[in-house]
Amino acid sequence: MAQVSMTVNGKAASGDVEGRTLLSTFLRENLELTGTHVGCDTSQCGACVVHVNGEAVKSCTMLAAEAEGADVTTIEAMANADGSLSTIQQAFQDHHGLQCGFCTPGMVMSASALLKDNPTPSEAEIREYLEGNICRCTGYHNIVKAIMAASGQDVSSIAAE
């Protein structure tokens, strides 16, 4: 066991971990931040995406020890300070961009990273960016729509209720 320290959602966090402890495990088990999900073991589904030093990474494919000193943000810190949904979260609700909710934390974290780099992405750019986030429920239609809406684009011409 070795001690690891980092900043998670703006607060200092530390704990004793094994070398093999994944960042996702550290978040879920040591810090009880269970909003970050693990849906595969081959680094493909993206349910575990968090931000490390401002960049989207798959927390199941990073060792907790590698996050020593890092600034980590998880889904639990994505809402507004008063607890209301952020623009991206609200767009997901408004446009039914989630069903079972399991992939959703990763989707929101990826969407947030995308919009930081590309404030008004096209439909194709969103679909390409989401290559590493698998959703089994929505068929992506409403996720893509929600991200376009969150970026301020007019989505009224895109079919759906």
Partner 1 sequence: MPKDGGIGASSKRREDVRFLTGAGNYTDDINIRGQAHVFFLRSDVAHGTITSINTSAAEAMPGVVKVFTGTDFEAVGGMPCGWQVTDKHGQPMQEPRHPILAHGKVRHVGEPVAAVVAETLEQARDAAEAIELDIAELPAVVDMKAAVAGDAPKVHDDLTSNLCYDWGFVEENKTATDEAFANAAHVTTLELVNNRLVANPMEPRVAVGDYARGTGDSTLYTTSQNPHVIRLLMGAFVLGIPEHKLRVVAPDVGGGFGTKIFHYQEEAFCTFAAKACNRPVKWTSSRSEAFMSDAHGRDHVTKIELALDGNNNFAAIRTETFANMGAYLSTFAPSVPTWLHGTLMAGNYRTPLIYVNVKAVFTNTVPVDAYRGAGRPEATFQLERVIDKAARELGVDPIALRRQNFITEFPYATPVAVEYDTGNYVATMDKLEEMGDLSGFAERRAASEAKGKWRGLGVNCYIEACGIAPSNLVGQLGARAGLYESATVRVNATGGLVVMTGSHSHGQGHETSFAQVVADMIGIDENMVEIVHGDTANAPMGMGTYGSRSLAVGGSAMVRATEKIIAKAKKIASHLLEASESDIELKDGAFSVAGTDKSVAWGDVTLAAYVPHNYPLEEIEPGLEETAFYDPSNFTYPSGAYACEVEVDPDTGKVTIERFTAVDDFGNVVNPMIVTGQVHGGLAQGIGQALLENCAYDENGQLLSASYMDYAMPRADDLPMFSVDHSCQTPCTHNPLGVKGCGEAGAIGSPPSVVNAVVDALQSGGKDVTHIDMPLSPARVWAAMQ
Partner 2 sequence: MYNFDVETPGTVADAVAALGRDEAQALGGGQTLIPTLKQRLASPSVLVSLTGVAEMKGVCVGDDGQLCIGGATTHATVASEARAHYAGLAELASHIGDPAVRNRGTIGGSLANNDPSACYPAAALGSGATIVTNARSIAADDYFEGMFSTALDEGEIITEVRFPIPQAANYQKFLQPASRFALVGVFVAKYAEGVRVAVTGASNDGVFRWTEAETALASNFSADAVSGLALSGDDMISDLHGTGDYRAHLVGVMTKRAVAAAA
Measured CA to CA, the distance from residue 157 to residue 46 in angstroms comes to 29
The residue within the footprint of partner 1, chosen from 61, 66, 71, 96 (CB under 8 A), is 96
Return all residues near 26 (Cβ < 8 A) that are at least 6 apart: 4, 15, 17, 64, 67
- DSSP 3-state of 132: helix
Residue 122 CB, nearest approach to partner 1 (Å): 12
Residue 43 CB, nearest approach to partner 1 (Å): 9
Measured CA to CA, the distance from residue 7 to residue 21 in angstroms comes to 17
- The interface with partner 2 within residues 113-132 (CB under 8 A) comprises 113-114, 129, 131-132
Stretch that binds partner 2, among 7-15, 44-52, 74-82, 89-97 (CB under 8 A): 44-52
Residue 157 CB, nearest approach to partner 2 (Å): 27
Residue 154 CB, nearest approach to partner 2 (Å): 25
If one asks whether residue 87 binds partner 1 (CB under 8 A), the answer comes out as no
Angle, helices 141-150/104-117, rounded to nearest 10 degrees = 40
The residue within the footprint of partner 2, chosen from 10, 16, 18, 101 (CB under 8 A), is 18
The residue within the footprint of partner 1, chosen from 6, 143, 149, 150 (CB under 8 A), is 143
Measured CA to CA, the distance from residue 161 to residue 156 in angstroms comes to 10
